Amino acid sequence: MTTSDELYVWTWLPGQTEPVVARRAEQAGPLVTFVYGLRYRARPDAISLFTPKLPLLPGTRSLQSG
């Protein structure tokens, strides 16, 4: 088995019955980066997953893990 430092974050949007991929997260040491998917941001019903730290904007957001 192999491990990956990349994961995909799924969410249920308000009023929807199926989850959608919202973003990709990657970790390199203590640094974790997040980027919303282009198709997710283009959805009219897209929401921020955590507004204070992860606003629904283009580009990569960095957070410290741990």
DSSP code, position 13: P
Residue 2 confidence (pLDDT) above 60: no
pTM of this structure = 0.76
For 11-26, write each residue's pLDDT tens digit: 999 999 999 999 888 8
Place of tokens 């970790």: 27
Coil, strand or helix: which one is 50?
strand
Taking the C-alpha atoms of residue 49 and residue 54, their distance in angstroms, rounded to an integer, is 7
DSSP code, position 12: P
For 51-64, write each residue's pLDDT tens digit: 888 899 999 888 76
Average of per-residue pLDDT across 28-47: 90
Of 41 and 29, more confident: 41
